[in-house]
Amino acid sequence: MTKPVFSLKDATVTVSNGTTILNNLNLDIYPEDFITVLGTNGAGKSTLFNVISGDLPLTSGSLEHNGQDISHLSAVKRTSFLARVFQDPKLGTAPRMTVAENLLLAEKRGSKRTLKSRQLTKEKLAAYYDLTKTMGNNLEERLQTATGSLSGGQRQALSFLMATRVKPGLLLLDEHTAALDPKTSDQLMAATNQQVKGNQLTALMITHNLKDALTYGNRLIVLNAGQIVLDVRDNEKEKLTEADLLTYFVH
């Protein structure tokens, strides 16, 4: 039987005012799972991601990676096997560095990061041209452009490519299309799906778009009050409709 790559066991987060944001949450994430994550505001979605990334400690419970307890492992050390793309296109890239320099930096995730101009060989630039062209937004024409000068869609596409340049053990997509216009969002989602499937990535994606939650991924979970109230995969997920999901958003 396939073993999970990540497991949250009775994961609980209680903040200083006594509010419990995650409430004994249990979740096993298996290799090549592409899990879409739904829930109302305050359901615990961002807290779940912050716990997995190491940005927020558990009050109780545990987080395991390949059977090893990593509950107390620092966020920096987790970057050797975790990658995250945020909602804000400005996060995750170095604005004064070029697109090519950002991609080169991404290749050093989990190791000492030093950049030298001579590392950007003709072969590297050719590879980056082919890579960025897969995003379908002319990013390949801006390899020598400072990232801060890119459009929001191009910058978010670059953030995604950086997060997946070195195959992560787990990719966290934190509403990574929410700040984009509908056309750009659809474009990035299609590219995301192609990359996740083609590179056999394991990913969690927070979204408020019910259509995207149903269209993408092999598995879907719904959070409410810090607990998972729905967890479906494959054929069971395919049978769901937007109307089915809306019932979890009615108070």
192 in any annotated domain: no
44 in any annotated domain: yes
Are residues 137 and 40 part of one domain? Answer: no
Domain count, the chain: 2
Are residues 151 and 220 part of one domain? Answer: no
Are residues 178 and 55 part of one domain? Answer: yes
Are residues 35 and 5 part of one domain? Answer: yes
C-beta of residue 60 within 8 angstroms of C-beta of residue 25 = no
Instruction: Check pLDDT > 80 for residue 21.
Output: yes
64 in any annotated domain: yes
Are residues 177 and 113 part of one domain? Answer: no
151 in any annotated domain: yes
Are residues 29 and 71 part of one domain? Answer: yes
The domain that holds 221 is classified in CATH as 3.40.50.300
> What residues make up the domain containing 24?
1-81+168-183+199-251
Q: Place 8 in a pLDDT band, splitting at 50, 70 and 90.
A: very high
110 in any annotated domain: yes
Are residues 173 and 149 part of one domain? Answer: no
pLDDT value at position 194? Answer: 92
233 in any annotated domain: yes
Are residues 113 and 143 part of one domain? Answer: yes
**Using one digit for the tens of pLDDT, what is the confidence trace for 53-107?**
999 999 999 999 999 999 999 999 999 999 999 999 888 899 999 999 999 989 8
194 in any annotated domain: no
**Using one digit for the tens of pLDDT, what is the confidence trace for 34-43?**
999 999 988 9
Q: Dihedral sign for Cα 58, 62, 220, 82, please.
A: positive
Are residues 68 and 1 part of one domain? Answer: yes
**Using one digit for the tens of pLDDT, what is the confidence trace for 128-170?**
999 999 998 999 999 999 999 999 999 999 999 999 999 999 9
pTM score, whole prediction: 0.93
Instruction: Check pLDDT > 80 for residue 1.
Output: no
Is pLDDT larger for residue 196 or for residue 115? Answer: 196
Are residues 99 and 75 part of one domain? Answer: no
pLDDT value at position 112? Answer: 57
pLDDT value at position 149? Answer: 95
Are residues 178 and 159 part of one domain? Answer: no
Cβ neighbors of 132 (< 8 A, separation 6 or more) are 99, 103, 139, 140, 142, 143, 157, 158, 161
Encoding tokens for residue 107? 């290749």
Cβ count near 162 (within 10 Å): 23
**Using one digit for the tens of pLDDT, what is the confidence trace for 48-68?**
999 999 999 999 999 999 999
Are residues 141 and 30 part of one domain? Answer: no
Q: Can you tell me the distance from the alpha carbon of 89 to that of 180, in angstroms, rounded to the nearest whole number?
A: 9
191 in any annotated domain: no
